[in-house]
Amino acid sequence: MNVRTQQEGAGSPLLQVLSDRVNRASEVLLFLLMLLMIGVTTAQVFFRFFFEALTWSEELSCFLLVLASLLGAAVAFKRGSHIAVTFVTQKLPEKLRKATAALVNLLGIFFFAIVAFYGMLLMKSEAGQTTPAMMISMAWIYAMYPVLGAVVILHLAAGMGEILKGGRS
């Protein structure tokens, strides 16, 4: 049992444990998406040079790039790795710093709720359309927005719980 698993045990709120587990799965999926994107792009170059071009490979590479970017953003939210201008907030008193962090998380939750909501609307409105090369429903492509919006909301809500508990500012 590693240190991270021990930390998830007793005393960890359910939301934090769920966020940690979803993030671990996201990191593995992100790695696999990057491998798949590299493989598809390599096959695309190889087939275009030596044989006949794969008609679906460029489209799949583009969709994988968007999905990997959004999933990478979700992982970065969990890690707190996004660019932040903190020189002002670091000079604030502790209570005001925590209030600012809570406000930022609430704004993030609001923004990603909008992303998820409109992603669902987009899925519904474009369900009859298919991708030009792969001929799959665009609803499957647009599903990444509500799913990843929900993942980021989970991470932000878990971070909000940590702020309110007094752990992070």
What mean pLDDT is predicted for residues 109-133?
95
65 token code pair:
């790039």
Q: Which structural domain range is residue 78 located in?
A: 3-165
Q: Which residues of 115-140 are buried (b: 16+ CB within 10 A; e: fewer)?
A: bbeebbebbeeeeeeebeeeeebbbe
Torsion of CA 90, 13, 161, 149, to 10 degrees: 110
pLDDT at residue 10, as a whole number = 46
Q: How many domains does the chain have?
A: 1
pLDDT at residue number 169: 55
The overall average pLDDT reported for the chain is 89
Cα–Cα separations (whole angstroms), residue 62 to 3, 39, 118, 127, 130: 38, 13, 21, 19, 15
Check: pTM over 0.75? Answer yes or no.
yes
Check if the beta carbon of residue 69 is closer than 8 Å to that of residue 33. no
pLDDT tens-digit profile of 29-48?
Answer: 999 999 999 999 999 999 99
Q: How confident is the model at residue 71, as a pLDDT? A: 96
